[in-house]
Amino acid sequence: MSKKRDYLLVDGYNIIFAWKELRELSEKSLDSARFRLLEILADYQGISQLNIIAVFDAHLVSGGLGSIEQRGGVQVVFTREAETADSYIERSAHLLAGPARARTRVRVATSDILEQVIILGQGATRINALDLEREISEARREVRDRYVYNKPVKRNQLLDLLDGETAEKLERMRFGKEGK
């Protein structure tokens, strides 16, 4: 039996304008806010091992063909002309979480209430922007606690690299027992 696949579809601009840090950054540069969100999502993808798809509206871009690319473990989608992020997410949720995909879990991150209702009908679950921000912060804290604060103290690595006789001689010198 194959392992269940978990997806997180992220409504990129919705998240940017919901998170204080990104909203403030977007006032200076929307590109910088988008880049920062993708950094955060890439870190989270590494921790969670989720398949993360970040979707950004480009439906007002005249002649826009849309694009899909990988950035740091995150699939980044820019919709094509006349296609909203919401419609892309709805279609993706249906394809990923539909009845034929019983072993696939799909969550959609957005604070758009109408979008949340629609994706529930597609077989996906929802998480609002602020809950996603808390979830990511908690995951980072857990990693930090596990790997930084509980890191075992290492022994003197120099002694570990020396042959036994030399290491023993240095230890005797350290405790003032050498030459007496």
**What confidence tens digit (pLDDT) does each residue in 54-91 have?**
999 986 667 778 889 999 999 999 998 888 899 999 89
> What pLDDT, in 10s, does the model give residues 93-128?
888 886 656 668 899 999 888 787 787 777 789 999
Does residue 79 contact residue 88 with C-beta atoms inside 8 Å?
A: yes
How do the domains of the chain map onto residue ranges? Answer: 5-149, 155-180
54 pairs with which residues across the strands? 10, 76
* Gap between the Cα atoms of 130 and 109, Å rounded: 9
Q: What is the pLDDT of residue 40?
A: 97
- Is 171 in a helix, a strand, or coil? helix
| pLDDT above 80 (res 168) | yes
139: burial class by Cβ within 10 Å (0-12, 13-18, 19+)? middle
pTM given for the model: 0.76
| pLDDT score for 128 | 94
Angstrom distance (rounded) from CA 123 to CA 142: 30
Q: How far is residue 44's CA from residue 58's CA, in Å, rounded to a whole number?
A: 24
The CATH code of domain 5-149 reads 3.40.50
Average pLDDT, rounded, for the chain:
85
Confidence band, pLDDT 50/70/90 cuts, at residue 1: very low
Q: What angle do CA 146, 38, 42 make, to 5 degrees?
A: 35
